[in-house]
Structure 1
Amino acid sequence: MSGLKSLFKQTAIYGLATVLPRMLSFLLVPLYTTEGVLSSVAEYGQVSIIFSYFVLLNVVLAYGMETAFFRFFNKHDDKRTVTGTSAISLIFSSFLFFALALLFQDQIAELISIDVKYIKLVVWILLLDALVIIPFAWLRAKARPMRYAVVKILNVAINLGLNVFFLLALKDLARENTFFDVIYRPDFEISYIFIANLIASAVTLLFMSPFYLQLQYVFNKVLWKKMLKYAYPVLIAGVAFSVNETFDRILLAEMLPPDIAETQIGMYSACYKIAVFMTLFATAYRLGIEPFFFSHAKAENPQKNYARILEFFVALGAIIFLSVVVFADVLKLFIVRSEAYWQAMWVVPIILLANFCLGIYHNLSVWYKITDRTKFGAYISVVGAIITLTINFLFIKEFSYKASAVATLVAYAVMMFLSFFFGRKYYPIPYNLKKIGFYLGGSTVFSWLSFYEFRGNYVVGITLLIVFLGIVYKFEQDKIKQVLKL
């Protein structure tokens, strides 16, 4: 159990660095869905489409170099060269993208049907975000989670504060003060959202700039080629993940009738956000375990610890899954403020379960990362993307965003099972399948009963939650006490 002590400490701080900023950012959803802030549900749908491209392009601009950095930083003695090579590679590629994107901004805007004024803002944000990838990875590799946490929280705090200022306060100030009247532009809400993001990204780079000032700019071409070879499957996997995560909004925009597309996307995207609790938990856990996987790969019997890690994740994830489903209609009052969005609440349990499966997949993926078989991650992710695209193409026109939600669940579930299947062959880990299956299956059945059969009946829902908590405690009470001691 002592081998897990550093994991729990780092996960707690990385959890703070991830959960708190995202909770601050999460407050933007109630802001955007409050009547009168954005002009319509469709306008929120337009914002969601642009952020979908953000997710895809962020993955492309990172091209797996962050994961490659972790692997080679722990594997090689010359960490200075690994750091310099990674940083120089991303600096060059980021500025190359920036120049090409600005040069062809009009053609890009026409191709993806987004106003060119948003393209300019997005390109700047993508550049700034790409330049902090290696500095943040370096902080994680050097086990400096507190600085990582502070800068991450600062980024979203600035973003949130500026969103509130631009979308709520500026209009009132413009009526009373000539100075603010010069700044304020009517019907400029979407631009304000991305201007806030741009300023937050610029401040983040400023705070991370000491990394570049102390960096020794050493570039090793042989090492770089090895890192790219390791990274390209991660890139493919990342692109596939982005397809699973956000490409459905783009497909909805292309395949639904123009008069309803953005409204449907707005409703779907807003209710999708209620699943953020599972996403936050899974992301914080992943940030903590990824360095742990690499640093403990050569420890005595690491498989035993990896098996325990997954058990903890599934037990906690099942509780979060069922709790959010039981209280989903309460949470929507605080998260998705306008009733105009509530039609899409049907997707909430589906997306929660999908992200639960994704979290399990990330835990299972340890086998191909530490055995340098990252190509399997790419293969599995591509299968998931193909499933996502196929289901969306076949069923969007008939079922709209419901097809997108089901596609996400099926894709992540298949990826989870494929990773387990191949991992058992190449790097066997003694997972307690009966217990894991019981927690996953039990929470799914209870969630289905609570939401789709007894929705609004909190006597039934809370009873199911209490019963499940009691079962988990009965099986895990000794481990819970050990974890609390750590």
Structure 2
Amino acid sequence: VTPPLRQLTRQTLVYGAGNVLTRLVTFLLLPLFTNVLTPGEYGLATLLYVFLGFMNIVYHYGLDTAFMRYYNEADGPDAQRSLFSTALWLSLGTSCVLSFLILSGSSGLSSLLLGGGQYTHLFKLAAGILLLDAISHVPFALLRLEGRATLFVSIKLMNVITTLGMNIYLVVMKGMGLDGIFLSVAAASAVTTFSVLSATAGSLQFAFNSSSVSSLLKFGLPFLPAGLASIAMESIDRYILASLTDAATVGIYTAGYKLGIFMLLITTAFQYAWQPFFLKAGNNPESKTLFARVFSYFMVIALFVWTVITLFISEIVRLNVAGVSLIGPAFVEAQSIVPIILMAYVFQGAYLNFLPGIYFEEKTKYIAVITGLSAAVNIGVNFALIPIYGIAGAAYATLAGHGTMAVTTYFTSKKLFPVLYDWFKLLRTVTAVVIALGTAHFFDYTLLGRIAGASAFTGALFMLKVITPGEVSKIISVFQPPSKDTN
């Protein structure tokens, strides 16, 4: 394994471990909230979380991504510090303006989104949360660029611990309901922002370069509509389901969607490591060969995880710890959509692999168009399939949206920065998946049959020469410290 691939793998593993811990809070808070809050309160909390998700995109408008794009091109450490400072002060200024607007319109937002003015104080709290979160984006991007993955993950873990601890205290022990939930979020955001600013304070200057602002906005702003479309693609299906079915169906679908976290962990960890990696590798012929290898390895890992979880999803959802199962008996139907959601995230990972050309040529406006098209496909398929297939229709709509995003990004990037991906290796990997599922089907999907199927997948990878024993040895070497020169 080459040094760049070794670095990418290790960074992905560190981010992956942190991401697992961060996402774990979702599972821990779900039983907490559903046992303490009424369904109505939990529904209101969900709506406010959706608002925070949309506004987070507006607040950082691709600024962190733009900063990462130009950081490695800056002429020396002084120029890099100037760029960091400019991006951070710009973020602070725009975030203050946006938070002021939310504070001014908090009463109207409460009535419009939550059905009454009694939640005005929650939107005022949301304005503070969004401000704190926004000014942490650029410092977190700097940690990624500097390869400080362990510190990045440690600060994120601090956020998880604070969120969980404050929710237990305020929501469970103090019975503060919605107020407790979002006070906990505010406390966690404050701790996180203070920590990441402290970690990057050495790079901060009282400098503001107006020419850098122009470049940052030109590159970053196209991510705003793209981000909003992406959030819409991730959440609008809940509203469509609610309008076409009922709240119970939405609950079952959401439970199945959350189980897609198994693949989301992989794609998110890969994204954190991949973006600074390919920007540092740069636009050159050698990078194309490297990127093709990364794509092949990613797809082998992603399809292996998809196969294993698909074969054993019934056992996974029935995991029982201290008398509490992963999802309750009323939600078991949700397991039927998990393979579909997992495959949607596989396509999301492919999309990430295809991004370098768009970044190198600074054609981020294409991302907005691609994401908007994908969101439109998602919405259209939702309306077409939900009346026929229910939650499966919504899951297929998610798959269609992510599939559209991956395919259109590939063809767009191919024109800008053509990479010769090994499609034959991908075909052989898919063949291994078919062999695994066929083996399990042959044994009527008994437990032993599914174990045989998983084993058949691994055997097929070697038989079809998707991977070789030599590559396995090289992959294992990634986890070993590099040898020291004894001369």
Could you state the TM-score of these two structures normalised by the residue count of structure 2?
Answer: 0.87
- Map 1:266-415 to 2 at 5 A: 266-298=251-283, 301-334=286-319, 336-397=326-387, 399-415=389-405
Describe the shift of the 1:299–1:9 C-alpha distance in structure 2 as closer, same or farther (beyond 3 A): farther
Q: Helix, strand or coil: the match of 2:72?
A: helix
- Paired letter, 1:152: K
Structure 1 CA distance for aligned equivalents of residues 439 and 369 of structure 2: 35
Which residue of the partner structure matches residue 179 of structure 2?
191
Name 2:423's counterpart in structure 1: 433
Structure 1 counterpart of 2:123, from 78, 99, 119: 119
Distance 1:203 1:156 in 2: 10
Q: 1:163 to 1:331 in 2, by over 3 A?
A: farther
Deviation at 1:189, TM superposition (A): 3.2
Shift of 1:374: 1.7
Q: Are 2:196 and 1:208 aligned?
A: yes
2:15 paired residue number: 14
Q: Output the CA distance in 1 between the equivalents of 2:272 and 2:384.
A: 35
Equivalent in the alignment of 2:52: 54
Letter matched to residue 332 of structure 1: V
What's the counterpart of residue 474 of structure 2?
482
Q: CA deviation at 1:107?
A: 1.1
Q: Deviations over 1:84-139 (max 9, x none)?
A: 11111110111111111111112112222354344333333222111210111111
Counterpart mapping for 1:75-90 below 5 A = 75-77=73-75, 78-90=79-91
What is the correspondence of 1:235-246 to structure 2 with a 5 Å cutoff?
235-246=224-235
The answer for the alignment partner of 1:181 in structure 2 is none
Q: Provide closer, same or farther for how the CA distance between residues 61 and 312 of structure 1 changes in structure 2, counting only shifts above 3 A.
A: same
Q: Assess, with a 3 A threshold, how the Cα gap between structure 1 residues 311 and 387 changes in structure 2: closer, same or farther.
A: same
The Cα offsets for residues 326-381 of structure 1, whole Å up to 9 and x where unpaired, read as: 22222223464322333333221111110111111111112211222222222211
Residue 104 of structure 2 is aligned to residue 103 of structure 1: yes
Aligned residues: 461
- Sequence identity percentage: 28
> CA separation of 1:446/1:191 partners in 2, compared to 1, >3 Å: closer, same or farther?
farther
Residue type at the aligned position of 2:181: I
Relative contact order, CA 8 A, sep 6+: which one is greater?
1
How far 1:449 moved relative to its partner?
9.1
Return the alpha-carbon distance in structure 2 between the equivalents of residues 374 and 221 of structure 1.
21
Q: TM-score, normalization: structure 1?
A: 0.87
Give 1:143 deviation, angstroms.
1.9
Larger mean CA deviation between 120-129 and 68-77 belongs to 120-129
2:410 aligns with 420
Query: Structure 1's 301 and 353: CA in aligned 2 closer, same or farther, altered over 3 A?
Result: same
Residue identity matched to 2:57: V
Cα distance between partner residues in 2 of 1:396 and 1:112? 25
Distance in structure 2 (CA, Å) of the matches to 1:45 and 1:328: 27
Letter in 1 for 2:474: Q
Q: Tell me by how many angstroms 1:412 deviates.
A: 0.7
Residue 165 of structure 1, CA deviation: 3.7
Match of 2:148 in 1: 144
Give the superposition deviation at 1:406.
Answer: 1.2
Contact kept, 8 Å, 2:435 with 2:460, in 1: the verdict is: no
* Alignment-derived partner of residue 27 in structure 1: 28
Relative to structure 1, is the Cα distance of residues 479 and 206 closer, same or farther in structure 2, using a 3 angstrom cutoff?
Answer: same
Name the SS of the counterpart of 1:217 in structure 2: coil
Q: Partner of 1:37 in structure 2? A: 36
Q: Are 2:167 and 1:163 aligned?
A: yes
Q: Amino acid of the residue matched to residue 460 of structure 1? A: G
SS at match of 2:36: coil
Look up the SS of the partner of 1:27 in the other structure. Answer: helix
Once the two structures are superposed, residues 204-228 of structure 1 have per-residue CA deviations (whole angstroms, 9 ceiling, x without a partner) of 1121232357611311222211211
Kept in 2, the 8 Å contact 1:303–1:430? The answer is: yes
Cα deviation for residue 397 of structure 1 reads: 5.0
Cα 1:483–1:250 shift into 2, 3 Å: same
Q: CA RMSD in A?
A: 2.6
Are the equivalent residues in 1 in contact too, given 2:374–2:402 (CA < 8 A)? yes
* Alpha carbons of structure 1 residues 351 and 44: separation in structure 2 relative to 1, 3 Å: farther
**Matched residue of 1:429: which SS?**
coil
CA distance 1:302–1:213, shift in 2 (3 Å)? closer
- Segments of 5+ residues of structure 1 without an aligned counterpart are 171-183
CA distance in 1, matches of 2:438, 2:228: 31
1:403-451: CA deviation from partner (whole Å, max 9, x where unpaired): 3211110011122112222222221112110221332465378569969
CA distance in 2, matches of 1:437, 1:43: 48
Between 386-395 and 69-78, the greater mean CA deviation after superposition: 386-395
Output the CA distance in 2 between the equivalents of 1:298 and 1:280. 28
Give the aligned partner of residue 177 of structure 1. Answer: none
What displacement does 1:280 show?
Answer: 0.4
Q: 1:116 to 1:314 in 2, by over 3 A?
A: same
Equivalent positions of 1:457-476 (< 5 A) are: 457-474=446-463, 475-476=466-467
Aligned-residue offset at 1:294: 0.6
Deviates more, 1:334-343 or 1:352-361: 334-343
Consecutive unaligned residues of structure 2, counting only runs of 5 or more, are 320-324, 479-487
Distance 2:135 2:52 in 1: 15
- In the alignment, the residues of structure 1 paired with residue 252 and residue 46 of structure 2 have an alpha-carbon distance, to the nearest angstrom, of 10
Aligned AA (2:69) = R
Match of 1:63 among 53, 61, 65: 61
